[in-house]
């Protein structure tokens, strides 16, 4: 709630604790860093990373980036596949915009030094090795073995860290956005900066900028089981909502069908490219089950595959299903999936000889902060790009390898808009610093931990792959109670990383449940037993603060 920010702020000026730059980018994945590099020739940029630079979702992305590089493929086909996977809820203009600009933006990434896998074709020419994933009708996924995200992130980090106009600051958590209206400034309501928790100093600092970009990723950590790293706690969505921005389609939470089921690696994702290269999904008795659910078998869209696995686990009372590519040659497997092979081998599983135990896990937030084709939000000067945003690309279900592509395209389009607008924007006056004089240290961290675990567990149980109205109502009641406790705690005690994330997760959980309750049908990733049929004229679910 907006008034909570005022509980911590003072209007006593202390300029020494204020950071100033032209552009503040909150988030250091593919979206944030590609934008920073495109802006750096024109202005001073500060990039905030919540943890170490390599701890975002980009770094752990295995699959690749979808773009039309094959002469037998077409942009129209990429568009059609995305629309089909999105289950009738994609914004066609957004899909066409992204597919049309895909190759140019991927080429920019290649120009930065990203090395994608290549192969020699029948004519003896070197070309990119393109793989295929669920929902795609052609091979159009550029990749670096099974560690594409690592190659992209490390390349962009190296370029950004070396640029004189880019200041990268690790272990900084954004707390809240600062708006002109909140401070009583005259003129158009706009963002003027952000309060940021410096985790090294355990101190809140003030960051002032002409433009602020949210590139904070998704909110899969709201669920008990997730493939995402710990930083994916919905911070950008919650901050934008508190600042007055609309959000859309947050009921569509993608559960990746194949997360490793193992006590020592609970969030290890097994890329969809395994199924693209011929892996089968099997029951504990070794029989395949996907052909019983969809004619596309293992290459059906993720929502269908995840529900099929969930159905078979519940029907059989099984802890997991299995993913099996052992029928392929061992050399083929180790060449295409070296990182996965080594990881599994360290856990006692030989990918070339046996099936892998798997379960679905929360993976991607298809909705988010509403933006236009330049990443602009409802608040002047505030942009949102990447998984934090709702562009209309994903509809009711994201197609594989469109996520990194969306980051790159909106990193480009937002940069074009910011470069054009920035010369006409003046810095605001110095901002008030955070004041902790009226709060105390807490010796009850157990309260935060308890609420944290309770929230993630009931979100998994009540707002997961299969939903009902009663489950959603029960979840909302629990969220409302938790929010009251969190608000009181936030107002009286010094903040911490866990408190900031809990506050944001509770806010996003509320928005997810409200969105799910508003959709009276089952479509894509949102499946409810109370409304199993499709509506004739589906619309995005839009929530207004």
Cβ contacts of 111-120, under 8 Å, gap ≥ 24: 112/37, 112/155, 112/156, 112/159, 113/155, 113/158, 113/159, 114/144, 114/151, 114/152, 114/155, 115/144, 115/151, 116/64, 116/142, 116/143, 116/144, 116/148, 116/151, 117/142, 117/143, 117/144, 117/145
SS (H, E, C) 236-300: HHHHHHHCCCCEECCCCEEEEEEEECCCCCCCCECCCHHHHCCCEEECCCCCECHHHCCCCHHHC
d(CA 290, CA 300): 9
How many secondary structure helices (H) and strands (E) does the chain include? 15, 22
How far CA 373 is from CA of 170, 325, 386, in Å, comes to 29, 40, 12
Counting beta carbons within 10 angstroms of the beta carbon of residue 403, is it exposed (0 to 12), middle (13 to 18) or buried (19 or more)? buried
Spatial CB neighbours of 466, under 8 Å, sequence gap ≥ 6? 307, 310, 527, 528, 529
Q: 73-107 burial string, b = 16+ CB within 10 Å, else e?
A: beeebbbebbbbbbbebbbeebbbbbbebbeebbe
- Which stretches of 80-201 are assigned E, i.e. beta strand? 118-120, 126-128, 130-131, 141-142, 166-169, 172-179, 191-198
SS3 content of the chain, % helix, strand, coil (to 5): 40, 20, 40
Pairwise CA distance, residues 99 & 297, whole Å: 26
- Is 189 designated active site? no
Residues 342/230, Cβ–Cβ less than 8 Å: no
Q: CA 25, 31, 37, 40: dihedral to nearest 10 degrees?
A: -30
Question: What is the dihedral sign for C-alpha 241, 365, 413, 173?
Answer: positive
CB-CB contact of 183 with 212 (8 Å): no
Helix (H) or strand (E) holding 369: strand 368-370
Residue from 190, 208, 302, 467 carrying the catalytic annotation? 302
Which residues are known catalytic residues? 302
């Amino acid at each position: 709630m907006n008034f909570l920010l005022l509980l911590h702020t003072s209007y006593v000026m202390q300029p020494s604790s204020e950071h100033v730059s032209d552009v503040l980018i909150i988030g250091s994945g593919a979206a944030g860093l590609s934008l920073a590099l495109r802006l750096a020739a024109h202005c001073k940029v500060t990039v905030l990373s919540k943890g170490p630079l390599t701890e975002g979702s980009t770094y752990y992305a295995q699959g690749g980036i979808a773009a039309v590089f094959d002469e037998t493929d077409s942009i129209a086909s990429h568009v059609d596949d995305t629309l089909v996977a999105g289950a009738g809820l994609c914004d066609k203009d957004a899909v066409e915009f992204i597919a049309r600009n895909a190759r140019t933006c991927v080429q920019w990434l290649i120009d930065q030094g990203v090395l994608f896998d290549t192969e020699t074709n029948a004519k003896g020419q070197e070309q990119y090795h393109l793989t295929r994933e669920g929902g795609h009708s052609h091979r159009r996924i550029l990749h670096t073995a099974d560690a594409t995200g690592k190659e992209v992130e490390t390349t962009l980090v190296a370029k950004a860290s070396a640029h004189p106009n880019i200041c990268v600051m690790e272990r900084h958590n954004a707390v809240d956005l600062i708006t002109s209206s909140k401070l009583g400034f005259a003129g158009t309501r706009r963002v003027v900066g952000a309060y940021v928790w410096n985790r090294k100093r355990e101190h809140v600092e003030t960051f002032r900028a002409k433009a602020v970009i949210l590139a904070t990723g998704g909110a899969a950590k709201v669920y008990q089981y997730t493939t995402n790293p710990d930083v994916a706690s919905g911070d950008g969505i919650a901050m934008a909502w508190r600042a007055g921005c609309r959000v859309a389609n947050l009921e569509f939470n993608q559960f990746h069908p194949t997360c490793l089921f193992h006590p020592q690696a609970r969030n290890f994702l097994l890329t969809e490219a395994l199924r693209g290269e011929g892996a089968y999904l099997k029951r504990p008795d070794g029989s395949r089950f996907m052909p019983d659910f969809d004619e596309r078998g293992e290459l059906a869209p993720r929502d269908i595959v995840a529900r099929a696995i969930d159905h078979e686990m519940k029907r059989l009372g099984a802890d997991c299903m299995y993913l099996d590519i052992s029928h392929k040659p061992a050399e083929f497997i180790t060449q295409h999936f070296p990182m996965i092979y080594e990881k599994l081998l360290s856990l006692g599983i030989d990918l070339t000889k046996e099936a892998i135990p798997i379960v679905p896990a929360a993976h991607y937030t298809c909705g988010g902060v509403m933006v236009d084709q330049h990443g602009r939000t409802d608040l002047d000067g505030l942009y949102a790009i990447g998984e934090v945003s709702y562009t209309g690309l994903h509809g009711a279900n994201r197609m594989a390898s469109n996520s990194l592509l969306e980051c790159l395209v909106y990193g480009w389009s937002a940069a074009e808009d910011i470069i054009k607008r920035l010369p006409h924007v003046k810095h605001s006056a110095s901002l008030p610093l955070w004041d902790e004089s009226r709060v105390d240290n807490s010796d009850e961290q157990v309260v935060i931990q308890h609420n944290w675990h309770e929230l993630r567990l009931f979100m998994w149980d009540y707002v997961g792959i299969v939903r009902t109205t009663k489950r959603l109502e029960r979840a909302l009641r629990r969220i409302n109670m938790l929010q009251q406790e969190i608000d009181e705690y936030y107002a009286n005690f010094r903040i911490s990383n866990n408190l900031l994330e809990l506050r944001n997760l509770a806010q996003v959980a509320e928005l997810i449940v409200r969105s799910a309750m508003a959709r009276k049908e089952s479509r894509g990733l949102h499946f409810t037993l109370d409304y199993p049929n499709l509506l004739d004229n589906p619309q995005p679910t839009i929530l207004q603060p």
